[in-house]
Amino acid sequence: MSQKALVTGGAGFIGSHLTRALLARGIEVTVLDDLSMGKRENVPADARLIVGDVRSGDDVALALEGVDTVFHEAARVSIRSSIAQFYEDAEINLMGTLNLLQNCAQSSVRRFLFASSMAVYADSKTPDPISEDYIPEPISPYGIAKLAAEKYCLELTRQMDIDCHILRYFNTYGPGQSVTPYVGVITIFITRLLAGKPPKIFGDGEQRRDFVHVNDVVNANLLAMDTSERYGLYNVGTGRATSVTEISNLLCQRIAPDIRPEYIPAHAGELRYSIANIDHICKSLGYTPKESLVERIDEIIENCRLSH
């Protein structure tokens, strides 16, 4: 078991949940975060916070001191903005990862876990779950950078004799997700409805997603940390498809039954169908998604109320 872990992006949504779970297991945690999206108050007092940049050799070297397991969660997470800002996207998501890997070569790191994305896949023609061997032809700069980073991680860690596991997250939701114009459709819709505004749906709303609770994502990371397998590539989702219209209808019913969604033109670069086949992670790591969207949605709504 890991004794000391580094969580890059540990002041952010998934990273802060993961940090708390690691601390609960008695693991010493260092968080490296530039606080551009993450919040200082998200980092538990028991964790060591380094305010720094994954692109900085000095910051990364300091954060890696004594670390045996790295959870690389830090990223610029936005498919839409990656199209206009492709250079900045690649600089953080790809070059930041390479800087981290380069520094791992001179460190005590023995295991490296990389947070990848469903965006590495080609668009699916049907709303059927896709497995890890589905076509990796991303349609956004964000997906391209994530796919390249995956390949670097798996290749370079083998050369360094470091275990490596890639986790491809599908649409993660849960309490504490920051509101941005680009990420977290559930949080965006809730925030608009609480303000008395209609949810904005891009396209016809029939695009389908696999919404996975942050608790299940954290559990997948812990299982990957604990496995005796040295290298792995896993989808992290639920295997269940939900349309954007269904999400909108559910939230309107719970918050503002008189409000109807507003439909606007679709954006380039976004997948129409993205549902995870989770057979591999279930069989290899013993993963089982435990959280239900319908059962957890009231908690997310209440969390948004309290944070605004």
Is residue 39 classed as helix, strand or coil in its secondary structure?
coil
- Residue 51 corresponds to which tokens in the numbers above? 């305010």
Q: Give the length of the chain.
A: 308
Out of 87, 134, 142, 169, pick the active-site residue: 142
- Smallest Cα–Cα separation from 8: which of 66, 62, 73? 73
C-beta of residue 24 within 8 angstroms of C-beta of residue 16:
no
- The span from the CA of 218 to the CA of 225, in Å, is 11
- The span from the CA of 212 to the CA of 292, in Å, is 8
Taking CA atoms, 65 is separated from 6, 32, 70, 176, 200, in Å, by: 9, 12, 11, 29, 45
Helix (H) / strand (E) containing 189: helix 185-194
Type of residue found at 78: S
Helix (H) / strand (E) containing 34: none
142 assigned to active site? yes
Contacts by residues 184-192 (CB-CB < 8 Å, ≥ 24 positions apart): 184/13, 185/209, 185/244, 185/247, 186/211, 186/247, 186/251, 186/297, 186/300, 187/300, 187/304, 189/247, 189/248, 189/251, 190/251, 190/255, 190/300, 190/301, 190/304, 191/304, 191/308
- The span from the CA of 39 to the CA of 243, in Å, is 31
Catalytic residue numbers read 142
